[in-house]
Structure 1
Amino acid sequence: MDWQSAIKGFKSYLKLEKSLAENSIMAYERDIEKLYQYSDMQEPKLKPDTITLNELRGFIVWVSELGMIPTSQARIISGIKTFYKYLMMEDVIKTNPSELLEAPKTRRKLPDVLTIVDIDNLIAAIDLSKPEGQRNKAILEVLFSCGLRVSELTGLKISNLYLDIDFVKVTGKGSKERLVPIGGEAKKALKIWLEQVRVHLDIKKGEEDYVFLNRRGAHLTREMVFIIIKRLAAQIGLKKQISPHTFRHSFATYLIEGGADLRAVQEMLGHESITTTEIYTHLDREFLRSTIIEFHPRS
């Protein structure tokens, strides 16, 4: 089997059988294209149905030497494993060469956590006399209250707000929807933005349902949310490296340190795997010590 046919079939499988979003399919395709590129450089050229485990290991060494970081290598290996599972399902291969392919050990760098004082100071620095001030306050309150990804925030729709029952419906990775509770302060800030400021904007056609808009009536970009947060941090002299994700990380950290169930937090964050949620449990030693003393039967 040639690479073009294999990749074309793999894309159809991801779309039709796995129901992945277009962005996810493109990411898988890029990773397999890298393997194809490597295979084409070998002598003799490697084919998708004859490649061996050692040759796949050679490919990982190659991308490593190109400067690819361990987390990216791990993602590529995951994509390769999915690709060869697909070839097995299609009876293109009888044995899976990627089965024993190991991902490099990765150390996740945990982002800074914002204290309640940090968040109060950031919100206090917003100039509420300007129309965008009310919007920016609502953005920060919603990020911290709901733990949203920045793409989920910018894609938030008015039709998905259920403020009367304190929930918002969010579209996350892979176009998967989930309901997330929203707190009182965030709800209040959101209502002021929607009912007192946004109603006066000249909204572009097709953008009417987006919650957060710019001055030209189009929905906010991810980049603009980053800029808003960076400017506020600079304004108050905050030394921490922060981004929209810092609010999500802080949201999860406070919930877990407060005793929230890990699976409930997983659901709210929209993580497929509980392992992803576990990186937020970087609790301080005193908290861990007191938890063990309180709950361990032999403490």
Structure 2
Amino acid sequence: MRAQWDQLVREFTKLLKAENKAPKTIQVYEASVQALIGWLDETGRQVDAAELTRHDLAEFMTHLIETRSASTANVRYRALQQFFKYLVAEGEIERSPMEHLKPPHVPEKPVDVLPVETVRALLKQCDGKDFISRRDAAIIRLLIDTGGRLSEIANLTLDDVDLDQDTVTVLGKGRRPRVLPIGSKTSLALARYRRLRKPHRHADRPELWLGEKNRPPMTSNGIKLMLRRRGRALVPPIDNLHAHQFRHTAAHEWLAAGGNETDLQRLMGWRSPQMLRRYGASRADERAREAHRRMGLGDGI
């Protein structure tokens, strides 16, 4: 039974690669199927894919919610949906055992929006003229200016930055590129960083962000750690400052300033208005009250 599952997973992974899915997406899909296989082994359910029932999948989802979280269960649900859809298309099974199985409900957890004063304080930390200060200032300005995802900013190359046009080209979800405008201060921060980047030991590498003390290029995790360190140095400290807060802050400030929702959706790389509503939810009430102060009829009557 295990041999059959392993073969199906290998072939499914090959298809994902052939479709040019992002490596992270492939990893999540494969891990989700492996989690299901592991659970089948642990519960003594020696069944092949064709014998799996909707009841089995419902029990697995319950297991995930009880031992992990609703969010993890939801990710596994979406991945397994695609896996069984693939098996149906390949003729391995007649119908997906996930038919009519609803996804786990994930309660909304609004991400904290950073006050503008906090962003200014972070940039104040990076006032120095050394390599690390210039690099961190450029990263922070890019995050708040573009609202880019961590992976998008972390994976930038030198060729992705056009300081003549003041744009950066990022590769978003689904491997979809988009060109993002940047402000003059962000452009200047990038220019300053690039000057100090030239004598670096790894300056010939294509990756934009290089490590301190002549270390190799930074990864997404390196930027995570940098932000966490900078956040803890604030007064008062932020224990777990992370890149997604900048994305939510950029969305909130855009909407609060009366920015067009369709423009924001395109800049952020969202394919549906649902994500626009989700990102705008953190401070929607605050924006509504401010709009009333500007446009309410009470004081004008």
In the alignment, what sits opposite 1:61? Answer: 62
**1:15 and 2:12 aligned:** no
Instruction: Give deviations 1:245-287, integer Å, cap 9, x for gaps.
Output: 2112211221122233334323322334432332111234253
**3-state DSSP of counterpart to 1:120:** helix
Give the superposition deviation at 1:82: 0.8
Q: Take 1:27 and 1:287, find their aligned partners in 2: how far apart are those partners?
A: 36
In the alignment, what sits opposite 1:152? Answer: 152
Give the superposition deviation at 1:43: 5.0
In the alignment, what sits opposite 1:170? Answer: 170
Q: Take 1:148 and 1:154, find their aligned partners in 2: how far apart are those partners?
A: 10
Q: Take 1:272 and 1:218, find their aligned partners in 2: how far apart are those partners?
A: 34
Give the superposition deviation at 1:137: 1.3
Q: Take 1:52 and 1:129, find their aligned partners in 2: how far apart are those partners?
A: 62
Give the superposition deviation at 1:77: 0.7
Distance 1:217 1:63, change over 3 A: closer
Q: Take 1:138 and 1:21, find their aligned partners in 2: how far apart are those partners?
A: 26
Decide whether the 8 Å contact of 1:126 with 1:232 is kept in 2: no
**3-state DSSP of counterpart to 2:152:** helix
Query: Within 5 Å, which residues of 2 pair with 1:1-299?
Result: 2-16=4-18, 18-42=19-43, 45-65=46-66, 67-195=67-195, 197-203=196-202, 207=205, 209-214=206-211, 215-216=213-214, 218-240=216-238, 241-282=240-281, 283-288=283-288
Distance 1:35 1:153, change over 3 A: same
With the length of structure 2 as denominator, give the TM-score of the two structures. Answer: 0.86
Distance 1:164 1:64, change over 3 A: same
**3-state DSSP of counterpart to 1:49:** helix
**3-state DSSP of counterpart to 1:200:** coil
**Identity between Structure 1 and Structure 2 (%):** 24
Instruction: Give deviations 1:29-86, integer Å, cap 9, x for gaps.
Output: 1111121222334555221112111111111122233x11001000111111111111
Decide whether the 8 Å contact of 2:64 with 2:70 is kept in 1: no
Count of residue pairs brought into register by the alignment: 290
Give the superposition deviation at 1:127: 4.2
**3-state DSSP of counterpart to 1:168:** strand
Q: Take 2:79 and 2:33, find their aligned partners in 1: how far apart are those partners?
A: 7
Instruction: Give deviations 1:79-126, integer Å, cap 9, x for gaps.
Output: 111111111212222222202111221123222211221111211122
Deviates more, 1:186-195 or 1:120-129: 120-129
Give the superposition deviation at 1:169: 0.6
Instruction: Give deviations 1:225-251, integer Å, cap 9, x for gaps.
Output: 233323333333134442122112211
Q: In the alignment, residue 235 of structure 2 is paired with which amino acid?
A: G
Please give the root-mean-square deviation of Cα atoms over the aligned residues, in Å. 2.5
Q: Which runs of 5+ in 1 are unaligned?
A: none
Q: Which runs of 5+ in 2 are unaligned?
A: 297-301
